[in-house]
Amino acid sequence: MRSITAGSRQAPEEMNMTTVTNTADRSGRAALLLAGCLVAGVLAAAWVACGARYERARQDILDARRAEMGAWVSGTREAVELWADAQEKLVKRISTSELYRMFAQDVQALGGGVEKAVNEADREGTILPEDAASLAEQVPFMRGALLDFMNYNGLSDVRIVNGEGRTLLSAMTQPAPLDSEAAALVGKAVKAGEFLFGSVRAGRDGLQLDVADPMSAYLAGGGEDGAVAAVFVRIPVTGRLAQFLARDRQDDAARPWLLQRSGDGWTALGTDAAHSGPVVSLPLDAAGNMEFGRRVGVDGKSAVYSLGVSASGPNWEIILEIPAAVVDARLRGMAWMIYGIGALASAGVVLLAALLWWVLISRRNEALARHFQQLYSVIDRQKRLLDSVNASLEVGLAMIDADGAVQMANRVFSELAADEGENAPDAAGRSLLSLFDVKTGALLVEAVRGVLQSGRTDTVELRMREGDVGERLLRVSLFPPYRGDGERGESRPGVVAIFQDITEFRRRSEQRQRQQANVMLALVRAIESVDPYLAGHSQKVAGLADLVGGQMGMDRASREGLRIAAALSQIGKLFIPRELLHKTGNLTPEERAEIMRAPEYAHDLLKDIDFGQPVAEAVYDMYEKLDGKGYPRGLSGESIPLASRVLGAVNTFCAMISPRSHREGLRREDAMDRLRKEPGFDPAVVEALDNVLRTPEGMSALLGG
């Protein structure tokens, strides 16, 4: 009986087990289906989210490229248009001259091709008609003036030509006849009555640009009636084109182009084979500009991202191209990073779904579920580590304790610590003194302890293998440790260090500084060539201004900016007519207003150059006065920058003690007395200048040392 009872009790338990098992199987299949749907939904959502994030990142990258390229082409266009405007003003000195207009009208009035005989009147044996004799007497003087104008301004040819292309007067005694293209340019200018630029062509002295400006008839009553001839000028542009194409660009891979219209197409202007030759067509809009976009390059071969603008005047097209491979590589790297992070996040969600599925199937899988949870945590930590590595690619990372021992390091740090020709050492567990030379290691250990003591971030620069050909410069950023809750800890066992190799960056920076110095030297020479009385003036002002800046407590960077501003302080006079600078008598109000525009000209020329200091502003405001009676803006008091106040006082002092065409230079003491009495100058600056002049360094700077 006992055994039968026992058997009857076991049957329901087996049935319950079967029922539970079947229920568990059905629940497991339902959970599996639910998990599958969840995984599919997560993957789809991740794909859409990654696509949207990538599209935003892609647009940001392209917008940044567009802004960089747009800044370059706009700056170059401004430089081209400024240069073209200067050339037009230069030519109009001849075309608006009453003397040359009357001569051209009189020669044209003779008719019959007599202009050749008038030009050759100074040659032996030339017989002139009676009515041309007076004109022939003017030829030697007018030709000499044209020759001086041509040589002084570095031109290849200057002549006055009638509408048929015949030369009425030339700077050369036996000028060659104009070719058909030049004659057509002159005829078009005379007919249209406006200044015209021709095409850049290869000539005897390299690339040259022809320009023509019509000369209106000069009547006895002083009126003007139509154009009787034109001034034809040939300008060498090889060096100028090279300067336009060599303007500094943020991306070394970018390629600049300067194009001119050639029939139905375009021709590239340049000084080497890579930047010259015919171009079939350009995708320009109605305004002559080319929108930023991906297309075939100007060379017709490679794919590029390009942007172009049209420069008025010579009607050149300025284009900047970046190889598409450079931008596409950046986009691919961004896509890999975004979709990689999305894949990791999706994998984490999938693992979490799998964990849920195992929990719903049976409690017997709790151990496996814990394993999956641990695996998910590991993947999450690895994802965060991957994010940090992605954010610090190509930099050395290390955790260093207070004794200088490396607790953890990545591959790049080990490579930076390796000597040339050696394999990268296993940096973990080693001391900085064993990885680097004694001097470098000791400096690092001292910096680590300083960060631990102060709790503030610090940065040091290290020179490795100093004096060697393979010398490298490292920038090391040190960060203090934190507690797990985000607060700084009382004890600081170590710091996180980021090592960056900035050797190439520093080399390029020094090269850019040398180039800037050469440009400054060329500008100073150009300034001094305008007025012989300015020779050595800029150097003298720069030396004294630097010393006065030191007296006023200016830091090293500000003093360097002050020196640059002083050296370029007279650059605006390049755009002032030379006769005004040399005039010995009183200036008319109009002439004085033109000379007072020198700061404006200087500011327009310097404002787009990155000197690292406000050089353009200092030059622009150097003629402002404390009492508000200066120019060009009428500033007063502390609203005038300190650098401008220093420049104003030192420039005025150097001008007073230097002789000019209309006066002798003052004694130093008399010049200082005048500065003290003048209410427009800062008394503190004047006092600092007086102190400087009492030192050997000040006297040396005063003498141009």
Residue 29 included in any domain: no
pLDDT at 645: 94
Residue 386 included in any domain: no
pLDDT at 8: 39
Residue 266 included in any domain: no
Eight-state DSSP code of residue 586: P
Say whether both 522 and 660 belong to one domain.
yes
Lowest mean pLDDT among 30-39, 227-236, 628-637: 30-39
pLDDT at 16: 47
Lowest mean pLDDT among 187-196, 372-381, 494-503: 372-381
Cα–Cα distances in angstroms (integers) from residue 695 to residues 278, 548, 554, 692, in the given order: 63, 11, 18, 5
Residue 313 included in any domain: no
Residue 304 included in any domain: no
Residue 674 included in any domain: yes
According to DSSP, the residues that pair with 196 across neighbouring strands are 212
Say whether both 495 and 512 belong to one domain.
no
Residue 137 included in any domain: yes
Structure token pair of residue 468: 């060697």
The mean pLDDT of 349-368, rounded to a whole number, is 67
End of a domain among 240, 264, 285?
240
**Residue whose pair of structure tokens reads 């009857």 in the numeric block:** 8
Cα gap 477→495, rounded to integer Å = 10
Say whether both 664 and 519 belong to one domain.
yes
Cα gap 519→500, rounded to integer Å = 31
The mean pLDDT of 630-635, rounded to a whole number, is 91
Say whether both 196 and 233 belong to one domain.
yes
Give yes or no for residue 529 having a pLDDT over 90: no
Say whether both 130 and 219 belong to one domain.
yes
End of a domain among 240, 266, 297?
240
Q: At 574, which CATH number? A: 1.10.3210.10
Residue 456's pLDDT band (cuts 50, 70, 90): confident
Say whether both 472 and 575 belong to one domain.
no
End of a domain among 190, 216, 240?
240
Structure token pair of residue 392: 């610090």
Cβ pair 239, 264 in contact under 8 A: no
Full domain range(s) for residue 588: 507-702
Distance in angstroms between the alpha carbons of the first and the last residue of the chain? 128
Give yes or no for residue 128 having a pLDDT over 80: no
Task: Return the higher-pLDDT residue of 11 and 39.
Answer: 39
Say whether both 659 and 525 belong to one domain.
yes
Task: Return the higher-pLDDT residue of 33 and 195.
Answer: 195
Say whether both 663 and 518 belong to one domain.
yes
Q: At 141, which CATH number? A: 3.30.450.20
Give yes or no for residue 220 having a pLDDT over 50: no
Give yes or no for residue 420 having a pLDDT over 60: no
Q: Domain tally for the chain?
A: 3
pLDDT at 2: 38
- One-letter amino acid at 682 equals D
Say whether both 537 and 445 belong to one domain.
no
Residue 76 included in any domain: no
pLDDT at 230: 93
Cα gap 660→98, rounded to integer Å = 31
Say whether both 429 and 513 belong to one domain.
no
Say whether both 413 and 436 belong to one domain.
yes
- Mean pLDDT over each residue of the chain, to the nearest integer: 79
Lowest mean pLDDT among 1-10, 619-628, 647-656, 674-683: 1-10
| Residue 331, CA atoms < 13 Å, CB-side half-sphere | 17
Cβ pair 246, 268 in contact under 8 A: no
Structure token pair of residue 249: 């660009």
Say whether both 560 and 666 belong to one domain.
yes
Cβ pair 671, 655 in contact under 8 A: no
